[in-house]
C-alpha cells in the first residue's frame, strides 16, 4: 500500500468520530501523492506523515462562568497546537455550539498549511469553545472570555502561541481576552493575540484582511484566465466579517456581489451589495446577535429565500464565505448546471470532498482552495505580530500593499508548483504541495525533536 494511503487509514483508525478531520487529511494527502512518491523513502523513514497528521499538543479544559441569573454554566475549551516547525502556533479561536475536538483538529491541520503558505514564520493551531455567543449579554460574553483565558493563558505567549478570532470571536471578544491575559500575566505582551483594536496594538486592515485577500487572490485567477472582475456577478455565502470584506473589495474593483446567506436562508439583491449603507448594515446585522440574513431583505426590499443556499442563482463567480461543508454534491451540481466558471472557496473547507472532486473534474471550471484564498487574515495577523514586536504601527497602505503582494505570490506559487508536477492549473494541489514542502523541510532539518 502506498505511504499516503497507509497514513489515511491510520488517521481514520486513530481519530474515531472525527469525520471533518478525516476529510481534511484525505483532501491534502490526495494532493501530495506526487511529492511524497518522489521522496517516499526519506519521508517514510522520518515518519513525516505520521507526525504531520498528529497534533503536537491538545489542551482541553473546563470553562465555568456565571450567567446573568447568577447560575454557573460550564463549557468545554480547547487549543489544538498542531505544528510549530516554522514558527509559534498561530490560528483563530472559534466560539460556536458546533465546536468539538475533531472540528478543531481539522481546522488546526488546515491552518498549518495556510500559515505556511503566507510565507511568514507562523505554525498552525486552532482553538475555541462550544459556547454560543448568540443571545448572550455583553457582560456574559465578557465573563466567559475571562474564564476561558484563565486557563488558556498558561499555554500561549507572543513566542509560543498567538490566537486570534474566528467564528463567534471578533474584536470585542479579543479585547476581553487580552484584558484578562494582561492581568494574569502581569506584563504588557500584546503580541499574544491578534485582531486587537487599534488602541492597544491592532493592525490597520486586519478586520478587512481575509475578505480583501480573497479578492486579491481572485484577481490573480482572473489575470491568469485573461479575464477581468469588471461587471462580474458574484454569489457570496455568509454575512460575517469575511463576507463583509469580500463584498467591499469586489465592489471597489467593479464586480457585483448579489447574494448573502445565513442559517435562515439567503438574500438576492439585484442592485448589488455595493454601497456603504449596505456594508455598514452587515456589521449591524452581525452585532445584533440575531443571526438572520432576512433582516437585509427586510431593510433593502429584496428577495429572501428561506432555508436554501444561494448556489442555484446564475452568477459568474461563487464565493462561499460561511462555514465548512456549505456545498455538497447536490449543491455543486446546481453550480455546474449554471455553467459557472469560477469557484473560489473562502470559508475553511466549505466544500465536501465529493463535491470538490466533482467541481475539479469540470473542464471549464477554476477551483481555488480556501487554505490559500483565505490566508490573508492570518497573514495580516502575522504583520500585526511584527508591528507589536517592533512597537510600531504601519499605515493602512503599507499593510494593504503587503497583503496584495503576498496574495499574488500565494496564487502564483501554487500555480507554478502544480505546473511543475504536470498537473496543469490545479490551485488545490499546488497550495497543498507548497504548504507542505516548507513545513516538511523544517521538520526534517530539526531532527526528531517532535
- Residue ranges that bind ligand GLU, judged by CB under 6 A: 90-92, 114, 164, 166, 194, 348, 377-378, 381
CB-nearer residue toward ligand GLU: 55 or 92? 92
Q: Which is nearer to ligand GLU, 203 or 220 (CB)?
A: 203
Q: Which is nearer to ligand GLU, 194 or 387 (CB)?
A: 194
Cα–Cα nearest to 24, from 126, 170, 161: 126
Least spacing, CB of residue 81 vs ligand GLU, in Å: 13
Torsion, Cα 11 79 113 107, to 10 degrees, reads: 70
Residue nearest to ligand GLU (CB): 92
Angle ∠(145,86,210) on CA atoms, nearest 5: 55
Q: Smallest gap, in angstroms, from Cβ of residue 264 to ligand GLU?
A: 24
**Nearest-angstrom CA–CA distance, 310 and 290:** 20
Q: Which residues are catalytic?
A: 126
Q: What contacts 24+ positions apart, CB below 8 Å, involve 358-365?
A: 358/329, 358/332, 358/333, 359/332, 359/335, 360/426, 360/428, 362/336, 364/339, 365/336, 365/340, 365/341
Question: Which cell numbers hold the place of 154?
Answer: 498558561
C-alpha cell at 369: 482552495
Nearest approach in angstroms of CB 356 to ligand GLU is 18
In the complex, minimum distance from the CB of residue 91 to ligand GLU, in angstroms, rounded to a whole number: 5
Min dist CB 261 to ligand GLU, Å, is 19
User: Closer CB to ligand GLU, residue 126 or residue 143?
Assistant: 126
Smaller CB distance to ligand GLU: residue 67 or 189?
189
The C-alpha atoms of residue 348 and residue 96 are separated, in whole angstroms, by: 15
Give the span between the Cα atoms of 320 and 260, in whole angstroms: 9
C-beta of residue 247 within 8 angstroms of C-beta of residue 279? yes
Cell numbers for 440, please give them: 516538511
Neighbours of 123 (CB within 10 A): 25
Cα maximum dimension of the chain: 63
**Nearest-CA neighbor of 257 among 237, 281, 240?**
237
Q: Supply the minimum distance, in Å, between the C-beta of residue 212 and ligand GLU.
A: 14
Cβ closest to ligand GLU, residue 320 vs residue 377: 377
Please state the closest distance from residue 270 (CB atom) to ligand GLU, in A. 32
Angle at 160 between CA 324 and CA 399, to 5 degrees: 65
Q: What is the DSSP string of 294-328?
A: HHHHHHHT-EEEET--GGGS--SEEEE-S-TT-B-
Nearer to ligand GLU, 152 or 378 (CB): 378
Task: In whole angstroms, give the CA distance from residue 267 to residue 434.
Answer: 37
Amino acid at each position: 500500500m502506498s505511504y499516503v494511503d497507509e497514513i489515511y487509514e491510520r488517521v481514520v483508525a486513530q481519530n474515531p468520530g472525527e469525520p471533518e478531520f478525516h476529510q481534511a487529511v484525505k483532501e491534502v494527502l490526495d494532493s501530495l501523492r506526487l511529492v511524497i512518491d518522489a521522496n517516499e523513502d526519506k519521508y517514510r523513514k522520518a515518519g513525516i506523515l505520521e507526525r504531520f497528521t498528529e497534533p503536537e499538543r491538545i489542551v482541553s479544559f473546563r470553562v465555568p462562568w456565571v450567567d446573568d441569573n447568577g447560575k454557573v454554566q460550564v463549557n468545554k475549551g480547547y487549543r489544538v497546537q498542531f505544528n510549530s516547525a516554522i514558527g509559534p502556533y498561530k490560528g483563530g479561536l472559534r466560539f460556536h455550539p458546533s465546536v468539538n475536538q475533531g472540528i478543531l483538529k481539522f481546522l488546526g491541520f488546515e491552518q498549518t498549511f495556510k500559515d505556511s503558505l503566507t510565507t511568514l514564520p507562523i505554525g498552525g493551531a486552532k482553538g475555541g469553545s462550544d459556547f454560543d455567543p448568540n443571545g448572550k449579554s455583553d457582560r456574559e460574553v465578557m465573563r466567559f472570555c475571562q474564564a476561558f483565558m484563565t486557563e488558556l493563558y498558561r499555554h500561549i505567549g507572543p513566542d509560543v502561541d498567538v490566537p486570534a478570532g474566528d467564528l463567534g470571536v471578533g474584536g470585542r471578544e479579543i479585547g476581553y481576552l487580552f484584558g484578562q491575559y494582561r492581568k494574569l500575566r502581569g506584563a504588557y505582551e500584546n503580541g499574544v493575540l491578534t485582531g486587537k483594536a487599534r488602541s492597544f496594538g491592532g493592525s490597520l486592515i486586519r478586520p478587512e484582511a481575509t475578505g480583501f485577500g480573497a479578492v486579491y487572490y481572485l484577481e490573480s485567477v482572473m489575470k491568469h484566465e485573461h479575464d477581468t472582475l469588471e461587471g462580474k456577478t458574484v454569489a457570496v455565502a455568509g454575512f460575517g466579517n469575511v463576507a463583509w470584506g469580500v463584498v467591499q473589495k469586489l465592489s471597489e474593483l467593479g464586480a457585483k456581489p448579489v447574494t448573502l446567506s445565513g442559517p435562515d436562508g439567503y438574500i438576492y439583491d439585484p442592485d448589488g451589495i455595493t454601497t456603504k449603507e449596505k456594508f455598514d448594515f452587515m456589521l449591524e446585522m452581525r452585532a445584533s446577535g440575531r443571526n438572520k440574513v432576512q433582516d437585509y431583505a427586510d431593510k433593502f426590499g429584496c428577495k429572501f429565500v428561506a432555508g436554501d443556499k444561494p448556489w442555484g442563482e446564475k452568477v459568474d463567480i461563487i464565493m462561499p464565505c460561511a462555514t465548512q461543508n456549505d456545498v455538497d454534491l447536490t449543491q455543486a451540481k446546481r453550480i455546474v448546471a449554471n455553467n459557472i466558471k469560477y469557484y473560489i472557496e473562502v470559508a475553511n473547507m466549505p466544500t465536501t470532498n465529493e463535491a470538490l472532486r466533482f467541481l475539479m473534474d469540470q473542464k471549464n471550471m477554476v477551483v481555488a482552495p480556501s487554505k490559500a484564498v483565505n490566508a490573508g487574515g492570518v497573514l495580516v495577523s502575522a504583520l500585526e505580530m511584527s508591528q507589536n514586536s517592533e512597537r510600531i504601527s504601519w499605515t493602512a497602505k503599507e499593510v494593504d500593499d503587503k497583503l496584495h503582494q503576498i496574495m499574488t505570490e500565494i496564487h502564483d506559487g501554487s500555480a507554478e508548483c502544480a505546473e511543475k508536477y504536470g498537473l496543469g492549473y490545479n490551485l488545490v494541489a499546488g497550495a497543498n504541495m507548497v504548504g507542505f514542502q516548507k513545513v516538511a523541510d523544517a521538520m526534517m532539518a530539526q531532527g526528531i525533536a517532535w
